[in-house]
Amino acid sequence: MTATMKRLGLHGSMLAVSLLMMYPVFWWLGASLKTNAEMSSASLFPKKLNWSNFSEGWNAVPNYAFTHFYVNTFELVLGVLFTSIVSCSLVAFAFGRLDFPLRNVWFAIMLVTLMLPTQVTIVPQYVMFNELNWLNTYLPFYVPHLLAGGVGGPFFIYLLVQFIRSIPKELDESAKIDGCSWFGIYWRIVLPLIKPALVTVGIYCFLWNWDDFFGQMLYLNTVDKYTMNLALKLFIDSQGSVPWGQLLAMSLLSVVPSVLVFFFAQKHFVEGIASGAVKG
């Protein structure tokens, strides 16, 4: 067998496996264009594409179009993204550059929290936020990330610390000679040099919080505050029939931002992960 035939066979096998793995996505696309009567059909796509599922699903919630839920989701996620990047980069800069008492001890404690299951803190956090009257607001999402906590906080700090420690300290000394403060070193020198790591943190933070159904369901309880994840739940009515085509059509639109973010930031994401593996 020639090298060309081997290559064709390898590529053909990879294509076949890829199509097999993509079958659920193809089914999802086809089902979003079906009527309820066609959902049990074995065919992947309906005979007639029911595009009205998208328009009807978009306005299916009384008094609210899905534009409202999109805006709510972006408001929540982008707020968490900004607070998380700012707080985690500041904490990572302190661990990576500053000398303060018990620095290694505090860093070890921070690493230990990586092994703490999120479920352990749910009840005390809920009680605390309830006492602060923060339920049905976005503060339970913003404030923990503003304090370098929240989902992924310790992991983000650890990742950024590895990048910061790889930056030569001679740059700090040169900046101090020019009269630069510690914050100036952080803002003008460190942040531009750890851009791949910041993009990686941003992608993780965006995806995790965009898909966070449990946390949003726990703290948000009125429709006007609902995100895309919670809005999809409104389609399921135990007392009546579920418009599955509309539900699947809206769920398809709900993942578009996540796909676009990863697609356009993939280069920086891979660069950040690869650089972190080498520098760590």
Instruction: Compute φ and ψ for 157, nearest 5 degrees.
Output: -60, -45
209 occurs within a structural domain: yes
| CATH code of 209's domain | 1.10.3720.10
Write down the pLDDT at residue 277: 46
The 3-state DSSP composition of the chain as helix, strand, coil percent (nearest 5) reads: 75, 0, 25
- Cβ atoms of 279 and 163 closer than 8 Å: yes
- Asked if 235 and 243 count as a contact pair (C-beta separation under 8 A), the reply is yes
The structural domain count of the chain equals 1
Q: Which amino acid is at 255?
A: V
Q: Report if residue 36 sits inside a domain.
A: no
Alpha-carbon span 276 to 107, nearest angstrom: 18
Q: Which two tokens stand for residue 3?
A: 């090298």
How confident is the model at residue 278, as a pLDDT?
A: 45
Q: What is the pLDDT of residue 42?
A: 76
Question: DSSP E strands: which ranges in the chain?
Answer: none
Residue 145 falls inside a structural domain: yes
Q: Two tokens at 176?
A: 């101090």
Distance of CA 87 to CAs 44, 93, 96, 198, 216, Å?
Answer: 47, 10, 14, 12, 22
Residue 192 within any structural domain of the chain: yes
Tens-digit pLDDT string for the chain (280 aa): 577 888 888 888 998 998 888 888 899 999 999 988 888 887 888 888 889 999 999 998 888 999 999 999 999 999 999 999 999 999 999 999 998 899 999 999 998 888 888 888 899 999 999 999 999 999 999 999 988 777 778 889 998 998 899 889 888 888 888 888 999 999 999 999 898 889 889 988 998 999 899 999 999 999 999 999 999 998 887 556 788 899 999 999 999 998 888 888 777 666 655 555 444 4
In a domain, 213, yes or no: yes
C-alpha span between 206 and 81 (Å, rounded):
6
Q: What gap in Å lies between CA 46 and CA 61, rounded to an integer?
A: 25
Q: Residue 68 carries which DSSP code? A: H
| The predicted structure's pLDDT at residue 43 | 83
Identify the domain containing residue 84 by its residue range: 77-221+266-279
Token pair 């053909």: residue: 12
- What residue has token string 């339970």? 140
Distance CA 73, CA 145 (A): 16
Crossing angle of helices 23-31 and 3-21, rounded to 10°: 40
Q: Is 169 contained in some domain? A: yes
Extract the tokens encoding 12.
Answer: 């053909």
Predicted confidence at residue 250, as pLDDT, reads 94
Q: Which one, of 146, 139, 140, lies nearest residue 83 by Cα?
A: 146
215 found inside a domain: yes
- The DSSP output letter for 187 is I
Q: Is residue 234 part of a domain?
A: no
